[in-house]
Chain A
Amino acid sequence: MKKLKNKIFASFMLLVMMLALAGVISIVEFRWLINSLHGLVEDNYKSIEASKTMLEALEREDSGILLVLLGEMESGRKIFFAADSAFIAALSIAKNNLTEPNENAYIQSIEDNYLLYKNFWNKPLLQTDKEASILWYQNTVHHQFSETKRSINDLMNLNQSSMYENATHLRERSRRAMMPGIVAIISAVIFSFVLHFFINRYFVKPIIDLAMAVKAFRPEDKILRTKINSKDEIKQLEEAINHQLNSIVTK
């Protein structure tokens, strides 16, 4: 590449490529980040919220059972049927939001435990030996209540730890999205200094030399005394000036 204009153009193109690639990488990484963040909220957070609703519904059902045992038949039944609907709705959300490996088994465990639990209060309690039997509640119902609660907590822990892992991963990726930009900025600054040096050395300095040579020119010299030994536009300029000076001197 002999021409100075080509050299300068190529240099700027390299600079543009450096910045453009950094930009593309950052855009790709940030898009991935946005999608992952969306996934994080959509996937894990949804299951965690469903688990919380199930826990709350379960607690309410437990209160309903206690009310029935104490003889408050109507209000007790009202509470646990409402809670049951809420539980089934939340379970359905969790069922349709399987995002973690083996999450299906966790859901199945909740479903199985809940059915066993529901079996206790679904049958009539009044006028049976279970009416007002705190001992029956303590030994049988509460145990199944705890089992169901444990399986819901397991599902919640699975999603919470996965959410934490993903957040750590996102932090790493956000760093990776930023780093090309930082490296590109620092590299561009260094590149600009080096380019400035080359432009000064191969463009400005020869022009100054040429100007000084023209100033110092005497008619008896015939040609300019310069140290230009490149083959670029500056050399062409020197040759043109020499040609012009020669024609003036010979006239």
Chain B
Amino acid sequence: MKPEIIIKHLGYVLFLNGIFLFISFLISAYLNETSSIPLLYSAFICGIFGLFPVLFVERTENIIFEEGLVIVVLGWFMTCVAGMLPYLMWGGEFTLANAWFESVSGFTTTGATVLNDIEALPKGLLFWRSSTHWIGGIGIIIFVLLILPQSKGARINIFHTEVSDLSKMNFRFRARKIIQILALIYLSLTVLETAFLMMAGMSFFDAVNHSFATVATGGFSTKNLSVAAYDSLTIEIIIMVFMVLSGIHFGIIFNTVSLKSNNIFTSSLVRAFVFVMFVGIIVISIKLYLSGMFSFPNALRYASFQVISLGTTTGFATIDTANWPIFTQIVLIYFTIQCAMTGSTSGGLKFDRVYILFKSIGKQVRLLKHPRGVFVVKINDKPVDEKLEYQTLVFVVLYVVTFFTSTFILTALDVDAMTAFSASIATIGNVGPGFENVSSLGNFSTIPDLGKYVLSGNMFLGRLEIFNILALFSLKN
């Protein structure tokens, strides 16, 4: 491994953060806010660390897999370190643990917050907070590959570490083309949602911030009451549509737009994803109506938003689900575990893996009946590679072990069981809100500092996929 190549690429990552920090500074400076200097200095530091390695390291012709792995994992880590700088320098509710948590939560598109009063933040800092979602949604490394010059060999090895095998399933293009498609869909969804939200009456600033958070499936809002603050059905419907779109594989969206087969209407995965959410919405609506909490139209409205928000790992809220019947909370926890599709901006377990898991269970049952039979797991009538099937099963096991371990640690820190359990699942799934103290309109401020670091670790594992982290630690040199 060549450390200079790794340092140079980490520099690129920081430089990109510096650009967004500078934009946030311009907003802050224009509004004469107290966050101007923290944002400016953070942008300056990122710029210096970004430019400095370029002075020494020549253009890289090739990057080996190990280098790509270190660049991706350390790139995410360095991004989060850079991201917490303006928070830490500005102060307010941001202690070291809080600034780190907020930064990791932003970049991993988790959307869990430690802030009690979001509206007290200056607008420049609010924009930076949403920007962390937007940068993290598409993946900081994909951003670097898109914007900065790379040789073909370098691009391929970094790309293959950043994008999982499952995500590549619906793409039949080279790395460069896939990156361009991802960026095009991402940007189009952001612009469209901003326009629709403005038409629905949101201010330009709020519309941009909420679009960043929706398309990245993040969930940071500029309001203490999240989307509930607007109390507008039109805004809720727009956000719901874009949350679903952002939770679908971008390759499938591209196929739909370019009128190709395996599109949103024909993909068996998309059908299953939407169907499961539909069932969830109906079941929760009926339960809420029967428990006498809401009229049926209101029950349907709140259930739809919450199921789609958690099912796509976004985490926006229109109501506090902490007081909902336990049955509805359990159904919502299922959606927190399931997450959205691979190839989208969401993190966590991913719906595709859950789909393969259930299909594998079916396969094993059939094998019990017909031990000599040959059965294959299929997605869109195409067989899934057995290696991928096995990887998926191991991933699911590791995922469960990780969130149970994190739950144990949190309970050891005297966090109550429901808060610990739901916070662990919500953070490793990059969803955001859980239940009890960390419910949809609550926050993570009551979690002890050590717990915040544990949950930040969960967010990393959820975003970077557990295998990448394990592979990094298994490197010998």
State the A residues within 8 Å of B (CB).
1, 7, 10-11, 14, 17-18, 21-22, 25, 29, 172, 175-176, 179-180, 183, 187, 190-191, 194-195, 197-198, 201-202, 230
Contacts and interface: CB of A to CB of B under 8 A. Distances in A.
A180 B52 contact: no
Given A183-B45, A194-B7, A176 B52 contact: no
A17 B41 CA distance: 11
Contacts, number: 64
22 contacts: A1-B55, A10-B55, A17-B48, A21-B41, A21-B44, A29-B37, A172-B34, A172-B91, A176-B34, A176-B89, A179-B38, A179-B88, A180-B89, A183-B85, A187-B45, A191-B48, A191-B52, A195-B52, A197-B7, A198-B53, A198-B56, A201-B56
Contacts of A179: 38, 88-89, 91
B55 A191 contact: no
Interface residues of B, number: 24
Given A7-B55, A14-B52, A191-B49, A180 B41 contact: yes
A191 B42 CA distance: 15
Contacts of B7: 194, 197
A193 to B, nearest CB: 10
Contact of B45 (A18, A29, A175, A197): A18
A33 to B, nearest CB: 13
Contacts of B44: 17-18, 21
Interface in B7-36: 7, 34
Contacts of A29: 37
Contacts of A10: 55
Given A11-B52, A21-B44, A183-B42, 10 more contacts: A1-B55, A14-B51, A25-B37, A25-B41, A180-B41, A191-B49, A191-B52, A198-B4, A201-B4, A201-B56
Given A17-B48, A18-B45, A183-B45, A176 B55 contact: no
B373 interface: no
A29 to B, nearest CB: 7
B89 A202 contact: no
In order of increasing CB-CB distance, the 6 nearest A-B pairs are: A179-B89, A198-B56, A175-B91, A7-B55, A14-B48, A172-B91
Contacts of A191: 48-49, 52
A11 B89 contact: no
A179 B112 CA distance: 25
A194 B41 contact: no
A180 B51 CA distance: 20
Contact of B37 (A14, A176, A194): A176
B3 interface: yes
A64 to B, nearest CB: 51
Interface in B38-70: 38, 41-42, 44-45, 48-49, 51-53, 55-56, 58
B134 interface: no
